[in-house]
Amino acid sequence: MKRFDIGAASVGLALAAPAAWAQQYSPYYGGHMWGDGGHGGWWFLGPIMMIVFVALLVAAVVLIVRWLGGSDAGRRGAPNDAALDILKQRFARGEIDRDEFEDRRQVLGG
């Protein structure tokens, strides 16, 4: 009977040793975030955070460009105002006469 107990104990030790070795600390992987396979949810949050970062970067660039553009950057006149200005410039340069200027101005509604 004693012989059976020693044999069972040695088989148990033989099977327990690799399991103990597998659970011991490894200096190469144990201290790193990738060591246990748990990524803390960053596999999902990483791309979202990258998109948020790029969106904030684009928004900052747009705001800086608008700020550097001065007071005229945000103000846009109506299309008819620009057309009427061009018409006035052509009349001032003598490219069109008074009748043509008046006709075109009435069409533009100015």
Any domain includes 100: yes
Any domain includes 88: yes
pTM reported for the whole predicted model: 0.34
Give ∠ CA 8-10-15 in degrees, rounded to 5: 95
| First-to-last C-alpha distance (Å) of the chain | 117
Any domain includes 87: yes
Any domain includes 57: no
Any domain includes 93: yes
- Could you give the number of structural domains in the chain? 1
Where in the sequence is the domain holding 91, given as residue range(s)? Answer: 77-110
C-alpha–C-alpha distance, residues 93 and 104, integer Å = 16
What CA–CA distances, in Å, run from 67 to 19, 53, 70?
65, 21, 6
Any domain includes 67: no
Task: Locate 2 and state its tokens.
Answer: 């004693």
Mind listing the pLDDT tens digit for each residue in 49-79? 999 999 999 999 999 999 898 655 445 555 6
Q: For residue 27, which phi and psi values (nearest 5 degrees)?
A: -70, -15
Any domain includes 23: no
Res 22 pLDDT > 80: no
